[in-house]
Amino acid sequence: MIRALRWDGDRDGYPVLVEQTLLPDRFEEVDIKTPQEMVAAIQRLAVRGAPAIGIAAAYGICVATRGLEDADAIDAALDHALPLIRESRPTAINLHHMVDRMRGVIDAHTDLRGVALRERLLEEARAIHREDEELCDAMGRAGAPLIRDGMSVLTHCNAGALATGGSGTALAVMYAAAAKGVQFQVYADETRPLLQGARLTAWELQQEGIPVTILGDNAAATMFAHGEIDLVITGSDRVAANGDAANKIGTYGVAVLAQHHDVPFYIAAPSTTFDFSTPTGQEIPIEERAAEEVWGVSWKSAPPAGISVRNPAFDVTPKELIHGWITENGIVQPPFDELR
C-alpha cells in the first residue's frame, strides 16, 4: 500500500512526500528540506488529509533544525517554525494538535538542548507517524463489519492511505472489509473542484483491487433515488465536541441525501481529529481557497469581468445526520467519553 509520506535518514534527514497534485497521471515524490517548503507543500495540497498533514507538521518542525548543532540557533529555528507551520491551514485540527504536541515536548524537556533536543523531537515525530498507522488499522477493524457482501458504498473526497500515515480512515474500513473477503462496490464522488475522489480515491482503490466507480458530484442524488447506495462512509478534518464534522465541501449534501433516502452515513476519524475545545461545528473555521481552483475547470483564463467566485474548501455535517463515528475505540456516539 502506498504511503503518503516518510522520513528519510537520521536527525539530519528530511521528510519525503508523495506529490499528490500530480496523481494519477504521474507518481513522484518530493524532498522537504525547510519548514517553508513544508508549509508550501501543505498549502498546495501536495500532502493533504487531516492525519497526514499532522504528521507532516511534526516532520516539518524537525526539518527546521536540519544541520544545526548550536543550541541557540536550534531554539531560534524552532521558535520560527512552530507558528509558521501551525497556521498553514486552518480547518484540519490534527495539524494544530501535532504542532502543540511537539511544543509540549520542548516545554517538558527544558533539560534538553541542542542536538539532544533535535533527537527527541524526531523521536516524537516518528511516534506520531507510527501511532497514526495503528489508529488507521484500528478504525478499519472497527468499521469493517458495516460492509457486507453485495453492498454499494459511497465515499466523498479522499480518506485513504494518501490522507493518513497508514491505510486511511474511511478507506481503512473498506480495506479491512476486503481483506476479510467481503465483495462490495465503491462509488467515489469526483469531489470538485480539485477532484480528490476521482484522482486519488479511485486510484487508491484500483491499486488495492477494490471495484470502484467514479460519480459526478451531481449524480449522487440519482444514485440514492434508484436505491444504488447502501452505505456512506467519509473521513473528517475536524469533529467538534458535539459530533458535528467538518469534511471536504460537498459532504454535507451527501449526508442530507443519505438521511432522506434512509441510508446510514458514518464518519471515520481517529481521536486525534476530535476537537473537544470546539463546542459545535459553527465554531470550526472553514478555509476559503483560491478562486482559480474553481474557475480553472470552467474557463481557460479568468472568468468574465463582473463574475465572482467562492471556494470554501470544507463544510460541516450536523451530528443529527451522522449515524455513527468510526474511531480506534469502535463506533461511538456523543459525548465520546471513550475518546476523552
Query: Which residues are marked as active site?
Result: 237
Helices (H), 169-322: 170-179, 196, 202-207, 220-225, 251-260, 292-295
d(CA 77, CA 148): 51
- Give the orientation angle of helix 50-63 with respect to helix 71-86, to 10 degrees: 160
Per the rule left: phi > 0, alpha: psi between -120 and 50, beta: everything else, 30 is: beta
Proportion of the chain in helix, strand, coil states, percent, rounded to 5: 45, 15, 40
Crossing angle of helices 71-86 and 35-43, in 10° steps, is: 10
Element (H, E) at 17: strand 14-18
Contact between 182 and 149 under an 8 Å Cβ cutoff? The reply is: yes
Residue written as grid cell 467538518: 246
Handedness of CA 169, 174, 175, 180 (dihedral sign): positive
The dihedral sign for the CA sequence 177, 183, 189, 194: positive
